[in-house]
Chain A
């Protein structure tokens, strides 16, 4: 079929297809894939209006637009979809506060904003973003404790150190937040006894928040952490190797 599932025996879905491609890209093992099949699976999920379904059951969400674009770009098969229509659909999800939601009219949310901004970045379409308007919305995610929340009047969470931060970096507005305070917040979320990072200080750690904490520190140029690409969530040297060489 071409798609990947979350685990053996489960059904295929773009979410896990992207993860598979990202992992292989990380280890420079993309050649074990049947690129034609995988890219056709992903490309086949584009709808008439340019949006993408997650799988054959038709759930539409801009997360899937990002996933498809990110995946096909790594595989160098973006020409298998209509990039123009994909971009148009993403732009139709732009809100009056400058942010993006999962479908047209849906509330702006940092996770969706990352997906939409990332997709627009990868397709050279950031001119559709009002960088000042969105930049202000994003920088106001930084609360008094220094952490970032995902939308107004919500609690800060380490995973937003990725969603908000990478979005700010892609639109060149990251200087609008206090980086030192954010570093401190992420470090405060560590479990110094058993390792790992949690969503908030003194909460239980998990691998999801550990990843986003480390990725956030990379974007904040924390010493000793490799540079990560804000659009692909993979190391810069991996993306440069894939996209800058013929």
Chain B
């Protein structure tokens, strides 16, 4: 099946093959008769041995042998010598079968089954393993069996670590050994075993893996181990709060009425529901955010026992982003009243990362909410145009405060050993100028360094990173799109790294009464990133880019107007993350590729019955079942959005049938493709 050369069968070969098949069929039918009649005589069992030695994949024969053993053992448990003889025979048959095919699942499992009956010694098993691992150092059956024996005999992790040292020492190109090492080492580090502290161990491991990377620049054996070391160096286990909206010391103005309004300041917000989203963005996925672990101290009435929701897939209890809605409109008149709001995150224990680490000591931030009583006058249903002109936004300094985020990354990296390790690795990798792995690792190292650097130096780092990815796109064109995505991530980090850089992308939208719009169009972006710095955004122009998914946008809880025209969106399923944006009213996906492709790469990343995470269907759905099946993803996405304006022209899917489907699914729509709809 694998690795056999293609050649026409000669007549003699055909005949020999047919004879072998006939013999096997004969053996098999005799064996089946014995099995079905539960015959376990020596003769019958020997027949099964013959069969398995020719074909170790005859799984029923391994089952039969287990039944035969159990039959023989019952009644002779008191005779240990006899038991040993029987079990030894089984081990012999397994070894013989493995010689035929050392990748036979049935053979290996039979051996484990026999061993669980208490025969054989560690010495024997390790000897057997040594032979197999010499023949093929990557045989994962052997490595799995080794882990089984280690578990059974309680061999120490330190001893096994030494074994990987030997394997790697004799041949660095052994991914299986590096993998095993990573499992053992992470366990030893996690339980802080003697002599296994990260500040000493990790730098030692860097030295060990250097050989594997520098000896043969194309050999991947050490790449993933090195990436793991980098992750251990850069990322701290304990979860931290990266950013929030509103941010610390900010002052927000709240209005009643439609949020698609005329807010000339960065920090104004309006909503028909009379509540605003309070957003927490953590550096890793956490669970346990609730009104007992996050307390709000404020005079804004009606906000006891807030409900906190993770912004994530339906089945998930964890997320980087959590949101709760604070009410600000109450029955009492509140002309221009100011409320101070104190938020304490981690007030009591309970916030835990998905890896089981508790949130660090409680963190508090304060902002001021200025509630205005006036209801928004401008037409709530006016069309939003992205073409009518944008003016540069002259930021007032107090507005820029809204852009400031916590920059928690500094806190993370205060350990000296981490900074030193990164600096050393950077120096080392600068010595591999023309290799793919050299450039890629250097880019990753510089990214880690940029995150902890001062503003002054950050820009330099990001520019170098962008150049490295451009080099990689040319050097390793098979993975062009991987480097393109990384380039986009670096570009967005650069854009959001300082308030100056960011304010260069903020404009006033004339058509929208000078609302502030973040314009990131025409940047060749293939990927969204740095959203934790963009939680304040209400109007976003991402047109004329290369995006194929809105993954990441779910954190922008204030977003009300989004332009995705002229991108590479292929399906509505790729817009699944927008279902979390309760404020979204205006969406432009015109001139994309929706309906053009037979393969949907976000089919399982969209909550639907296909991923058993969404149940059909409401009344609308049951009235047009065939269209709901045909346009299933558009159905679920549009149903959950509360759009007033949608643009879908310029997509293969667009047309009369789809438009009328949309009108059924999104009855609140006022504008479709620039035309006002009759109510």
A157 contacts across to B, CB distance below 8 A: 2
Alpha-carbon gap, A86 to B180, bound state (A): 24
Q: Does B477 contact A (CB under 8 A)?
A: yes
Q: Are A203 and B481 in contact (CB under 8 A)?
A: no
Contacting chain B: which of A27-35, A44-52, A174-182? A174-182
B599 contacts across to A, CB distance below 8 A: 169, 218-221, 227
Q: Are B147 and A204 in contact (CB under 8 A)?
A: no
Partner of A244, one of B182, B285, B604, B609: B609
Partner of B63, one of A57, A78, A122: A57
Partner of B3, one of A97, A171, A174, A199: A199
Q: Are B629 and A97 in contact (CB under 8 A)?
A: no
Of residues 145 through 189 on chain B, the ones whose CB sits less than 8 Å from some CB of chain A are 147, 173, 175-176, 179-180, 182-183, 186
Q: Does B363 contact A (CB under 8 A)?
A: no
Alpha-carbon gap, A150 to B508, bound state (A): 52
Partner of B36, one of A9, A57, A139, A175: A9
Alpha-carbon gap, A245 to B482, bound state (A): 37
Alpha-carbon gap, A109 to B599, bound state (A): 24
Total inter-chain residue pairs, C-beta < 8 Å: 199
Q: How many residues of chain A get a CB closer than 8 Å to chain B's CBs?
A: 82
A57 contacts across to B, CB distance below 8 A: 62-63, 66, 109, 113
Q: Are A11 and B228 in contact (CB under 8 A)?
A: no
Alpha-carbon gap, A171 to B314, bound state (A): 17
A135 contacts across to B, CB distance below 8 A: 482
Given A175-B481, A200-B3, A240-B629, do A11 and B60 touch, yes or no (CB 8 Å)?
yes
Of residues 79 through 137 on chain A, the ones whose CB sits less than 8 Å from some CB of chain B are 83, 95-97, 101-103, 105-109, 121-127, 133, 135-137
Of residues 210 through 260 on chain B, the ones whose CB sits less than 8 Å from some CB of chain A are 219-221, 223-224, 227-228
Q: Are B612 and A203 in contact (CB under 8 A)?
A: no
Q: Which of A97, A203, A244 has the most CB of B within 10 A?
A: A244
Q: Are B6 and A204 in contact (CB under 8 A)?
A: yes
B330 contacts across to A, CB distance below 8 A: none
Q: Does B611 contact A (CB under 8 A)?
A: yes
Alpha-carbon gap, A76 to B609, bound state (A): 11
B480 contacts across to A, CB distance below 8 A: 178
Contacting chain A: which of B94-102, B136-144, B559-567, B583-591? B136-144
Given A157-B2, A200-B3, do A175 and B313 touch, yes or no (CB 8 Å)?
no
Of residues 158 through 175 on chain A, the ones whose CB sits less than 8 Å from some CB of chain B are 169-172, 174-175
Q: Does A213 contact B (CB under 8 A)?
A: no
Partner of B612, one of A9, A124, A136: A124
Q: Which of A6, A57, A239 has the most CB of B within 10 A?
A: A57
| A-B pairs with beta carbons under 8 Å apart, 29 shown | A10-B59, A57-B113, A106-B144, A107-B175, A107-B180, A108-B179, A124-B611, A127-B318, A139-B482, A140-B479, A153-B138, A153-B220, A172-B548, A172-B551, A172-B601, A177-B479, A181-B478, A198-B6, A202-B6, A204-B7, A206-B1, A208-B1, A220-B599, A221-B598, A240-B610, A240-B629, A243-B609, A244-B628, A246-B625
